[in-house]
Amino acid sequence: MIVIVEVLSRFAIPVFILFILGYGFYKKVAVYEVFLEGAREGFTTVIRILPYLVAMLVAIGVFRNSGAMELLFRFIAPLTNLLGIPAELLPLAFMRPLSGSASIGMLAELLKIHGPDSYLGRTASTMIGSTETTLYTASIYLGSVGIRDTRYILIAGLLSDLIGFLSSIVICTLIFGR
C-alpha cells in the first residue's frame, strides 16, 4: 500500500501536467502562447491576497510566541479532560484552522515524541489528514475577490473542523483501540 501511495504522490503532478499539455497539443492549441495568457494572472492574484496573508500570519505569530496559547490550554484542559479528549492533541486542534505549516510542524513533533504507531500518533495523523486550514483558506478565497463579509462561512468551516477532530478521536479509538 505504501508503495502505491508513494508512486501516486510522486507521479500525480507530472502526469497531470503532461496530460494537459499533451492533450492541448493534440487538440491543436498553441500551448506556449496560451500558457502565457493564463499565467499573467498569477501575479495579480497573489498581490490581491498579500494583505490577507500578512494580517493572518502576524496575528497567528503573535498569539503563538506570546505564550497566550499555553495559557489558554491550561485554562480549558480540565474541561476537555472531562470529555476524554487527550490534552496532547489540543494545541494541534487549535492550530489546524489557523496555519498549515504550524500544524504540520506540530504533527511531526507529536509523531517524534509519542511514535507514529501510538494512539496519539495515529489520532493526530487522522486529525491533520481530515481537516484543512479553515481560517487561512477562507480569508484567501474571499480576499482574492475583494469580499470582506464572511457571512456564515467561518462558523460552518470551524464547525466542520470540530466534527473532524471529534470524529478522528472516536474513529481511531474504535479502530485502533486506546
Partner 1 sequence: MIHLVNIIWLILLAGGFLAAFLTGEVEQTTQAAFDSASYAVELGLGLIGIYTLWLGLMRVAEKAGLIKAFSKKIAPVLRLLFPEIPASSQAMGAMSMNIIANVLGLGNAATPLGLNAMKELQKLNHNRKSPSDAICLFSVINTSSIQLIPATVIALRNAAGSANATEITGTTLAATFCATVTGITAVLILRRLNRWRGKQ
Locus of grid cell 473532524: 164
- Taken in order 114, 115, 119, 121, the sign of the CA dihedral is positive
Interface with partner 1 in residues 38-97 (CB under 8 A): 38-43, 45-47, 49-50, 53-68, 71-72
Of the pair 43, 83, the CB lying nearest partner 1 is at 43
| Angstrom distance (rounded) from CA 41 to CA 44 | 5
Of the pair 65, 82, the CB lying nearest partner 1 is at 65
Q: Using CB under 8 A, which of the segments 16-24, 73-81, 82-90 binds partner 1?
A: 16-24
Of the pair 43, 78, the CB lying nearest partner 1 is at 43
Of the pair 81, 115, the CB lying nearest partner 1 is at 115
Residue 18 makes contact with partner 1 by CB under 8 A: no
For residue 98, what is the DSSP state?
A: T
Residue type, 19: F
| Angstrom distance (rounded) from CA 173 to CA 167 | 10
Interface with partner 1 in residues 98-157 (CB under 8 A): 98, 104, 107-108, 111-112, 115-117, 121-122, 125-135, 137-142, 144-157
Reduce the DSSP state of residue 118 to 3 states and report it: coil
| Angstrom distance (rounded) from CA 170 to CA 124 | 12
